[in-house]
């Protein structure tokens, strides 16, 4: 074989591999869940298959801080304004900022900082997912001065789809992403137990999973590795929450602790000592017990391919938060005046 023919064969073989990889990637549905995206797992198997409830855009718009009745300080569970829309629909004026804007801590001058921002409302809701609350409380204990100015958006950070995404060519995927997705998904389907994909996404069996999730491979769902790695909350964290409220009495405070998806579907005893200590304190509603009840009643209370609540789950949690808010503000101040 001449060198020219050898190089031609190598070129054609390489070209064939590239074409095969490209075709595979184009035919792989673009991920619409955060865990399927970071784990490179197929949303054909793990993506939710039930349309989500529609929320009118007017309820997804925040109020300026100077007009707000309620301030929410939250994380990614609050970025789409879905659970807050229940409060807005009930007539409360809500504004939302995020722990990340505040260096993940609330400081000694928190009340004065809100005064300077022009917040005249009487209620603050502190929302945190379970896996990050401990770190935030530790930083809060050490923080003396709020460093950043108050900045809030009127519109949500993202606008998630309410309809099940249809098939589309994956033009934005990397050349190898289709093959990697195929490989990871095949492994998840072919393994009876759990598999780890992309270092951060567990594909795990769920008991009675098909009654709880709508994805095609519904005996399994995807879970965030940080749910395990970040450890449990403890009764000491409850005391830290209580101490923060006692030190900041200018406004009422509701703690809104959203359980990890892994806690609800895989390991319900995770953070159990915290939950037992938190119940009955009046610091906030027990969303752990609430989520354990809802997962039995609502398919996709959490999305199967995402670490977050579904839009349906968000609205249910919003209704539970409305009940907690009404214990402090029975009527929106605008209506009560």
202, pLDDT greater than 60: yes
pLDDT digits (tens, 9 = 90+) for 113-135: 999 999 999 999 999 999 999 99
Both tokens of residue 191? 């393994």
**Quick one: pLDDT at residue 27?**
52
Task: Look at residue 21 in the predicted model and tell me its pLDDT.
Answer: 47
* pLDDT tens by residue, 227-255: 999 999 999 999 999 999 999 999 999 99
pTM over 0.85: yes
Give the C-alpha separation, 206 to 110, whole Å: 42
Helices 130-142 and 235-247, packing angle to 10 deg: 50
Which residues touch 127 (CB under 8 Å, ≥6 apart)?
A: 72, 73, 74, 75, 77, 78, 256, 257, 258
């Amino acid at each position: 074989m001449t060198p020219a023919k050898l190089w031609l064969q190598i070129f054609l073989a390489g070209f064939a591999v590239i074409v095969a990889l490209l075709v595979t990637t184009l035919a792989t549905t673009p991920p619409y869940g955060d865990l399927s995206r970071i784990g490179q797992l197929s949303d054909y198997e793990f993506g939710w298959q039930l349309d989500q409830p529609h929320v009118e855009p007017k309820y997804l718009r925040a109020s300026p801080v100077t007009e707000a009745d309620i301030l929410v300080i939250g994380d990614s569970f609050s970025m789409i304004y879905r659970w807050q829309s229940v409060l807005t629909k009930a007539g409360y004026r809500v504004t939302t900022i995020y722990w990340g804007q505040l260096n993940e801590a609330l400081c000694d001058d928190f009340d004065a900082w809100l005064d300077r921002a022009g917040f005249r409302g009487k209620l603050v809701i502190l929302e945190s997912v379970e896996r990050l609350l401990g770190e935030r409380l530790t930083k809060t204990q050490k923080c003396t001065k709020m460093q950043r100015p108050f900045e809030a958006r009127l519109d949500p950070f993202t606008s998630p789809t309410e309809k099940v995404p249809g098939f589309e060519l994956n033009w934005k995927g990397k050349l190898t992403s289709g093959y990697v997705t195929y490989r990871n998904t095949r492994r998840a389907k072919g393994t009876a137990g759990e598999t780890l994909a992309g270092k951060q996404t567990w594909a795990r069996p769920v008991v009675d999973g098909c009654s709880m999730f709508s994805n095609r491979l519904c005996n399994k769902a995807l879970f965030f590795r940080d749910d395990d790695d970040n450890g449990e909350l403890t009764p000491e964290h409850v005391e830290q929450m209580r101490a923060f409220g006692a030190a900041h009495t200018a406004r009422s405070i509701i703690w809104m602790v959203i359980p990890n998806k892994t806690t609800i579907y895989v390991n319900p005893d995770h953070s159990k000592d915290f939950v037992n200590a938190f119940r009955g304190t009046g610091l906030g509603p027990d969303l752990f017990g609430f989520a354990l009840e809802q997962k039995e009643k609502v398919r996709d209370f959490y999305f199967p391919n995402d670490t977050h609540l579904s839009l349906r789950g968000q609205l249910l949690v919003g209704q539970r938060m409305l009940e907690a808010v009404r214990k402090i503000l029975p009527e929106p101040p605008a209506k009560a005046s």
